[in-house]
Amino acid sequence: MHDRRFPASSLRLFASARSAGKTLSYGSHAYTVEETREEIFSELDLALFSAGADTSRRFGRLAAASGCVVVDNSSAFRMDGDVPLIVPEVNPDAARAHVGILANPNCSTAITLMGLYPLHRKFGLKRFFASTYQAVSGSGVEGMEELNNQILAWAGGGESAPATYPHPIAFNLIPHVDSFTPGGYTKEELKMLQESRKILGLPELAVSATCVRVPVMRAHSIAVNAEFEQPVDLEEARAAIRSFSGAELNDTPAENGYPTPLQYAGKFPCGVGRLRLDAAFPNGLALWIVGDQLLKGAALNAVQIAELLHQQGTLRIG
């Protein structure tokens, strides 16, 4: 919010009763954390929720009924029919239909669509396969600490037992993000299907995803193989990515130019590279997308949604 000069007249921080009274500082400002209570929302114009689906379900509808616009970063409302699911660069007009709550998509979905949407506009997306390489920060501080502890233990000749993950994450890959469903897909993988359909307005879009946790601290990567309605021209595809706000073409593989998590951790744009005609699909394109899931996959996208509402005139601040 500070970096983007968000037009807020005041900022208040809320959490559980356990955290109330703590002081958080940013720059020259110090903020005292307040307990989240039902009555506080009538005092607010905007609330950015990022405390998990249970908290969002408890307070989200109540906040909206109090006249406070909610931008929710959990899975609580994403598939509700009356809640727009928004990536501002992709479906800004859908935000106008909000009735007090707007949802942030899952981090992998948002990052994937930053590469796919400009191609969809150009060639017409038909279906895609996605394999994700998801950083441990997607699991919170516990995941980052577990990776760090296991690396340190290995370097000292010892071991550190897994707790956050079902297997060691250091020097390993775990094809298991979120819980498994009866069909064999995880909930994370089904989010890619369901949320992409809703955001793109393509209810019949075919999507198959495999989500993998990798020993990377920050920024998710996604390998995508997509089939389109129209024949794909590589230079037109590169031009579409290059001109799309929020995406950055990084596609000079002969010079080792392609996005990596270390490059894009802490960056606002998502990197797109390794563009090539797909060897399996007619009208197909293979590509590689990298984005900071704490930014475009979460905080940045939430602030962008609020900015969008302010620009559209549906959010009054101050």
Output the pLDDT for position 125: 98
Output the pLDDT for position 183: 96
Ordered DSSP codes for 110-140: HHHHHHHHHHHHHH-EEEEEEEEEE-GGGG-
120 is catalytic: no
Q: Domains of the chain (ranges plus CATH)?
A: 14-105+298-312 (3.40.50.720), 108-293 (3.30.360.10)
**136 close to 111: Cβ distance less than 8 angstroms:** no
Look up the pTM and report it: 0.96
Strand locations in 27-112, DSSP E? 29-32, 34-35, 46-49, 69-72, 101-103
**187 close to 263: Cβ distance less than 8 angstroms:** no
Identity of residue 159: E
211 is catalytic: no
Output the pLDDT for position 27: 87
Question: How confident is the chain (318 residues) per 10-residue block, as mean pLDDT?
Answer: 91 96 93 97 97 97 97 97 98 96 98 98 98 97 98 96 97 97 98 98 98 98 98 98 98 98 98 97 97 97 97 81
Output the pLDDT for position 230: 98
CA distances from 248 to 8, 86, 159, 241, 253 (A): 29, 20, 40, 7, 15
Output the pLDDT for position 115: 98
Output the pLDDT for position 138: 96
Output the pLDDT for position 318: 61
Please state, as a whole number, how many other Cβ atoms lie within 10 Å of the Cβ of residue 214. 17
Among 107, 120, 211, 310, the active-site one is: 107
- Picking from 275, 270, 164, the residue whose alpha carbon sits closest to that of residue 215 is 164
Among 98, 120, 220, 310, the active-site one is: 220
**121 close to 230: Cβ distance less than 8 angstroms:** no
| Cα gap 90→64, rounded to integer Å | 24
| Cα gap 297→292, rounded to integer Å | 7
